[in-house]
């Protein structure tokens, strides 16, 4: 799931595009766990693991999936951050500016209406974006959060242990790790967290 590069940067407004965190000033060796495409039916189990390991994470959710049965109150109460992943998860780079704005605005508005908190972080589906995407996000005061370590968990249903190796073999201080709310990811999440802790990493949000 490589990220597209925006072209025509001369037309960009001031924006915040984050592919990696900088924890150097805090003197920490830390990473950011991020989970896309929820809130799913597995969210409670993901929260159980994170709570057991005392780890905070970031969840990028589609607003169309955010309803009262999803555990958004618990997610916030346990210190995790929620960002928008659009409303219907389209490839924004294939949409014109008006359609992109509708997706992002709808998602931000609906999520804020439900959870009662401002949404400050945005991740474009598939990591695909263009100049319009960045300008729209900037106008809405959204930080665009990508990643530098993809787990490829969406390809590894039959080989979930590879998710762990994909991460631990490539992670660095400040890495933003791309995961999804998938069954195979849930299966290996305790092992992944333990291995990262063993390598000296703590866990932060942006």
Longest Cα separation, the chain: 47
Would residue 132 show up in a list of annotated catalytic residues for this protein? Answer: no
Rounded Cα distance, 32 and 175, in Å = 6
The whole-number average pLDDT for the span 169-176 is 97
Among residues 15, 80, 121, 180, the one annotated as catalytic is: 180
pLDDT by residue (tens digit) across 89-144? 999 999 999 999 999 999 999 999 999 999 999 999 999 999 999 999 999 999 99
- Which of 13, 12, 38 shows the shortest CA–CA distance to 185? 38
Would residue 199 show up in a list of annotated catalytic residues for this protein? Answer: no
90: Cβ contacts below 8 Å, ≥ 6 apart: 99, 103, 125
**What global pTM score does this model have?**
0.91
Among residues 15, 36, 37, 85, the one annotated as catalytic is: 36
Under a CB-based contact definition with an 8 Å cutoff, are residues 61 and 102 in contact?
A: no
């Amino acid at each position: 799931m490589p990220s597209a590069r925006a072209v025509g940067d001369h037309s960009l407004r001031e924006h915040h595009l984050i592919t990696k965190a900088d924890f150097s000033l805090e003197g920490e060796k830390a990473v950011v766990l991020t989970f896309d495409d929820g809130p799913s039916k597995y969210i409670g189990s993901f929260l159980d693991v994170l709570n057991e390991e005392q780890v905070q994470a970031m969840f990028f959710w589609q607003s169309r999936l955010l309803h009262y049965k999803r555990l958004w109150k618990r997610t916030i109460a346990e210190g995790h951050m929620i960002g928008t992943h659009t409303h219907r998860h389209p490839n924004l780079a294939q949409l014109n500016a008006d359609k992109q704005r509708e997706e992002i605005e709808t998602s931000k508005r609906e999520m804020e209406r439900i959870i009662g908190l401002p949404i400050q972080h945005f991740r474009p589906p598939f990591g695909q974006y263009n100049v319009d995407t960045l300008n729209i996000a900037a106008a809405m005061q959204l930080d665009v959060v990508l990643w530098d370590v993809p787990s490829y968990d969406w390809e590894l249903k039959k080989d979930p242990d590879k998710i762990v190796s994909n991460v631990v073999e490539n992670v660095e201080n400040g890495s933003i790790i791309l995961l999804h709310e998938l069954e195979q990811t849930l299966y290996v999440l305790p092992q992944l967290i333990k291995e990262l802790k063993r390598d000296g990493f703590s866990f932060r949000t942006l």
